[in-house]
Amino acid sequence: MRMTNADRPTSITGEDVGPTARLLARAFGDDPMMCWFFPEEAARPAALVGYFDTLLTRQYLPYGVCERTGHAAAIWVAPQAQEKAVPDEGTIRELAALLGDRAGWFRECVAAAAATAPQEAHWYLALLGTDPAAQGRGQGAALLRAGLARADAAGLPVHLESSKRENLAVYQHFGFEVLEEVRLPADGPTLWTMRRAPGA
């Protein structure tokens, strides 16, 4: 399907935070980790909007490379920004009201994910989501290719984590390999860490 200008990657600005948070809430509505963080199905959509709004405002817009199309969004973090882009105590406190009794588990998950972070210089794909109503239009792939091109130009690998098994094959199609399966604390879902070599 031919892409229009509205479907091409553009930078996310402060004015885009609300629409992007709502887009990501729809994209991650059935993600195992998000379902674990927000187990009440009726309350999950609104909680996810608040969750992504907070992360975008406090962490990713200031420190990440944030891009979107009409129906997809991607958040990348360059090597030099990765320490700052990890959810800090202020962010976790803001999220605690949304997470309720899962706030402590969220802290454990942040720590578990940080423990798996590679020591090599790399680009990190923090989030990639497409509105379910627009699946198959190539917008997520366009955002993925744009980020991979930046990493390849720098001669750097790309790392990501996924808690959705069905996504592994998609990333493998783009040259990623599974490095490790991590079982999250408190009977949480499995997290797969993946790496793509430069130019793969």
- With respect to residue 2, please indicate whether it lies within any of the assigned structural domains: no
- With respect to residue 3, please indicate whether it lies within any of the assigned structural domains: no
Question: Could you tell me if residue 130 is left (phi over 0), alpha (psi between -120 and 50 degrees) or otherwise beta?
Answer: beta
Range of the domain at 122: 11-196
pLDDT 10s digits, 44-80: 999 999 999 999 999 999 999 999 999 999 999 999 9
The CATH number of residue 98's host domain is 3.40.630.30
- With respect to residue 170, please indicate whether it lies within any of the assigned structural domains: yes
- With respect to residue 5, please indicate whether it lies within any of the assigned structural domains: no
The pLDDT-based confidence of 1 (bands split at 50, 70, 90) is very low
pLDDT 10s digits, 144-162: 999 999 999 999 999 999 9
Asked if 140 contacts 187 with a C-beta cutoff of 8 angstroms, the reply is no
Which residues, including other chains, have CB under 8 Å from residue 150's CB and lie 6 or more apart? Answer: 65, 76, 123
List of E strands, the chain = 10-11, 65-68, 72-77, 123-130, 158-162, 176-183, 190-196
Q: What pTM value is reported for the model? A: 0.91
Helices (H) and strands (E) in the chain, counts: 9, 7
> What whole-number distance in Å separates Cα of residue 184 and Cα of residue 62?
28
Total number of domains in the chain: 1
- With respect to residue 1, please indicate whether it lies within any of the assigned structural domains: no
- With respect to residue 148, please indicate whether it lies within any of the assigned structural domains: yes
Percent of the chain predicted with pLDDT > 90: 72
